[in-house]
Amino acid sequence: MTYYQKTYFKNAKKSEYRGSIYDSKFEAQIAFDLDMMLKAGEIIKWERQVKIPLIVNGYLVENYYIDFIVYRDGETEYIEAKGYPTPVWKIKWKLFEALHTKPGNKLTVIMQGHYKLPRLRKIKK
């Protein structure tokens, strides 16, 4: 493990949201946001930590665990929440992209530093 991987895993704190344990507070926040989208009718449903076999020429290369799958009318979005993208993850993601990029699929990586959370207004006293 490199220094950056150690730092990343050391800083990520497991979080619970609605009875499920997430690898980080960041992932739990995305789950909350997906629930809000579900309540607003923007999405049909969503799943977390789905195992997807990466099969090339009939051989299982690796199992990929995608953070979230979001279902909309006619579209399936695969969402990966990343704090720090490791070199191993980058290779797995490229393989995942090669196998799952097709019409009706959307592949999204949400980087922690670039995620825009809704800001609450301050109430004036």
CATH of 21-114, one of 3.40.47.10, 3.40.50.1980, 2.30.42.10, 3.40.1350.10: 3.40.1350.10
Q: Where are the domains of the chain?
A: 21-114
67 to 15, 30, 80, 122: CA distances (angstroms)? 14, 10, 5, 32
Q: Are 106 and 76 in contact (CB under 8 A)?
A: yes
- Reduced to 3 states, what is the DSSP secondary structure of residue 61? strand
User: pLDDT by residue for the chain (125 residues), tens digit each?
Assistant: 333 333 344 567 888 888 888 888 889 999 999 999 999 999 999 999 999 999 999 999 999 999 999 999 989 999 999 887 889 989 999 999 999 988 889 998 988 875 554 444 444 44
For the entire predicted model, the pTM comes to 0.77
